[in-house]
Amino acid sequence: MLDPVTLAVLQGRLEQIADEMDASLFRAAFNPTIAEARDASHGLYDAASGETLVQGKAGLPIFVGAMAYAVRAVIGHAAKTGDLAEGDVFLFNDPYDGGTHLSDFKLVRPYFRDDALFCWLASVGHWHDVGGNVPGNYNPSARECFQEGMLIPPVRLYAAGVLRSDIIDIVLANSRLPGSAYGDLHGQINALDLGAKRLDALLDEHGAASVAGAFVALRARAARLMRANIAELPDGHYSAEDFLDNDGASDTPLRIALDLTIAGERLVLDFSRSAPACLGPLNIARSTAIAACYVALKHVFRDVPANAGVLEPVEVIIAEGSLLDARWPKPVGGYTETILRLIDVVFVALAEAAPERVNGCAYGTINALSIAGHRADGRRFVMFSFFGGGHGGHPEGDGLNHGNAPISTATIPPVEILEAAYPVLFRQWALRPDSGGAGRQRGGLGAIYEIELLESHADVFLFGERARFAPPGVCGGGPGALNRFTVLTRAGDVTPPLGAKLVGFSLARGERVRLETPGGGGYGPAAERAPSAIAADLALGYSTLAGECGA
C-alpha cells in the first residue's frame, strides 16, 4: 500500500503528464478552436476497461467520460484483430462509439512496459472542418450524420510504429482545410509521444507497481469522496425539466427531464421522461450523456478527483431510442447544446436537495457561428468559433460575466486572433446590459458581438439555443435573457425563423451579423438583493433602471 506522501507525489506527477500533453497540443495546433479555445483533452486510461485514470486540467471535462468509451472502442477493435503492438496509434471520430460529434478526432495509443500493456494514452481535439454540408460542421439542417462530416471508425494510423500515410491522405481529402487538419493531427501525435516519454521517466523513477497502485488508490479515493458527498444530501426524489428550442427541422421544443433520487450513498439520475430521438442534430450518444452527468456532478462536488471513481456510486438511466441515446446514423452535430441542457436540469433538481451547493443555470448555448467563403485570391476561409455568455448566480456571489460554457475550461478565442485569421471586423464586443437573471445573487451578463464581413461575400451558419427558453435561476432566482441573433443586411434586418439556427445565409461585404447571448440565471429572490449591489449594477451599466424594475 502506498503511503499518503508517495500517493500525493504520484498524483501530481500523473496529472502533470496529462497537463503537459494538453499544453503541447495547444501550442502546436493550427486551428484556433484548439490553439486558443482549448477544445481538446488528454488523459491516461485503464489497460483493461478503458476507464479514465487521469485527465489534464486544461482540456474539456466533457471528455473525461466520453473518452473512456472511445478507448473502450479501441480495446474492442484491437481484440478482434488480436495483433496489438507497441507503437500502434488508432485514429477515429465515431460519435456513436466514442461519444461527442464528428469534429472531435480521437487518437488512442497503447502504452507498454516490460512487453505488457500498462495503460492507454489518448488525445482528442476539435478539428476545424471535417467535411459535410456546412463549413465548420455545425449543421442545423442535418438529418443524418453523413450531412455533418466524414465518419472514421477506429483504424491504425501507426502500425507497430510505422505511419500509414494512406490514412492521412483519406482524412485530409475530406476536409475543406486540409492544412489545418494536418497540423492538428500531428500536434496530437506529438502530444501522445510526449505523454509516453513522461510515463517512461515516471516508471523508471518509481516503478510500474507503485504507479499502478496509485491508479487504484486514486480511483478508490474519488469513489469514497463521492459517496461521502452524496451521503450529506437529504434522501428523497427531486425532479426538473427544461427544453431545447427545436431540432432545426421544426419549431417544436424537445424536453430534457430528470428524476433524481438520493438514497444514502447512492445517486440515481433518471432521464426516462426525456424526448425521443429527433430528426435534427440535437441527439447525443449514451456515452456523451453520461459524460455530461459527470461534468454536472463535478460542478457540485468540486473536491472529487477527476477519474472514473466519480461515477461509481451514480446510476444513470436513459431510455433506449431517446434523444440521449442516439444510434447511427442519427445526426449528433449539435451535441453541445443538448449536454448543456442536461447539465442545467441536474443543477435545478439538486437545488431542491442542496441549495447551498448549486448555482443558477449558465447561458446554455455555445452559439456555434461559421462565416465561410473565399478570399480575393481564391483561398478558402472558414471562420468557425463559439461565443460566451453569463453564468448563474451562486450562494457566494453574482454569476460570471461573459464566461465560456460549463462543459469546459476552454476560453473564447480573442478578437485579435479572429480578426487576424479571417476577413472579418468586430464592430462590437461588449457586455449585454440587463441579460443576467435577477436574484439575491444576479446572473452573469451575456455579450453582444457584431461582426462585419470584409470580403466580397460569404455564407453564414449558426447553431444555437436558448432563443425560446431562457436559462433558469434557482432558489427563487429569475431567468437570464433569451438568445438573439440578427443579420444586418442592406435590405434590412433578418432574424432566423427557428430562433438561433440558420443555414447558408448569404452575406455581402460590409454586412454584419449581431449575436446577443443570454445571461445566467439568478440565485435567490431578487427582493433580497442588497441595495448597494443594485446601485453598483446601475453605475457599471450592468443593469438599467428599466431592467431593475423588470420592464
Cα 198 to chain center, whole Å? 27
Domain boundaries, the chain: 4-223, 359-551
- Whether residue 329 is preceded by a cis peptide bond, meaning omega within 30 degrees of 0, is yes
Residue 80: CB atoms within 10 Å: 8
- CA dist., res. 60 & res. 409, Å (int): 6
CA 296 → CA 55, 346, 349, distances in Å? 16, 7, 11
Residue with cell 455581402: 508
Give yes or no for a contact between 498 and 461, defined as CB atoms under 8 angstroms apart. no
> Which phi and psi angles does 457 have, rounded to 5°?
-160, 160
Radius of gyration of the chain measured on its C-alpha atoms: 23
Q: Supply the DSSP symbol for 412.
A: P
Give yes or no for a contact between 84 and 130, defined as CB atoms under 8 angstroms apart. no
Give yes or no for a contact between 157 and 91, defined as CB atoms under 8 angstroms apart. yes
- DSSP, collapsed to helix, strand or coil, labels residue 529 as coil
Q: What is the DSSP string of 5-54?
A: HHHHHHHHHHHHHHHHHHHHHHHH-SSHHHHTT--EEEEEEETTT--EEE
- CA dist., res. 337 & res. 516, Å (int): 17
- DSSP, collapsed to helix, strand or coil, labels residue 317 as strand
The per-residue pLDDT string of the chain (551 residues; one tens digit each, 9 = 90 and over) reads: 799 999 999 999 999 999 999 999 999 999 999 998 889 999 999 999 999 999 888 878 788 778 999 999 999 999 998 889 999 999 999 999 888 999 999 999 999 999 999 999 999 999 999 999 999 999 999 999 999 999 999 999 999 999 999 999 999 999 999 999 999 999 999 999 999 999 999 999 999 999 999 999 999 999 999 999 999 999 999 999 999 999 999 999 999 999 999 999 999 999 999 999 999 999 999 999 999 999 999 899 988 888 899 999 999 999 999 999 999 999 999 999 999 999 999 999 999 999 999 999 999 999 999 999 999 999 999 999 999 999 999 999 999 999 998 876 667 889 999 999 999 999 999 999 999 999 999 999 999 999 999 999 999 999 999 999 999 999 999 999 999 999 999 999 999 999 999 999 999 999 999 999 999 999 999 999 999 999 999 999 999 976 554 44
Element of type H or E holding 193:
helix 178-206
The confidence score (pLDDT) of residue 548 equals 57
Give yes or no for a contact between 450 and 512, defined as CB atoms under 8 angstroms apart. yes
- CA dist., res. 521 & res. 406, Å (int): 13
In 50-164, which residue ranges form alpha helices assigned H by DSSP? Answer: 62-81, 95-98
- How does 354-379 read in b/e, with b if 16+ C-beta sit within 10 Å? beebbbbbbbbbbbbbbbbbeeeeee
Strand 314-317, strand 266-270: pairing: parallel
Element of type H or E holding 104:
strand 104-113
- CA dist., res. 194 & res. 203, Å (int): 14
Q: Which of 323, 359, 328 is closest to 338 using CA atoms?
A: 323
- 261-265, Cβ contacts within 8 angstroms, sequence gap of 24 or more: 261/236, 261/237, 262/230, 262/233, 262/234, 262/235, 262/236, 262/238, 262/353, 263/235, 264/230, 264/231, 264/235, 265/227, 265/228, 265/230, 265/231, 265/313
The confidence score (pLDDT) of residue 551 equals 42
Strand 380-385, strand 484-489: pairing: unpaired
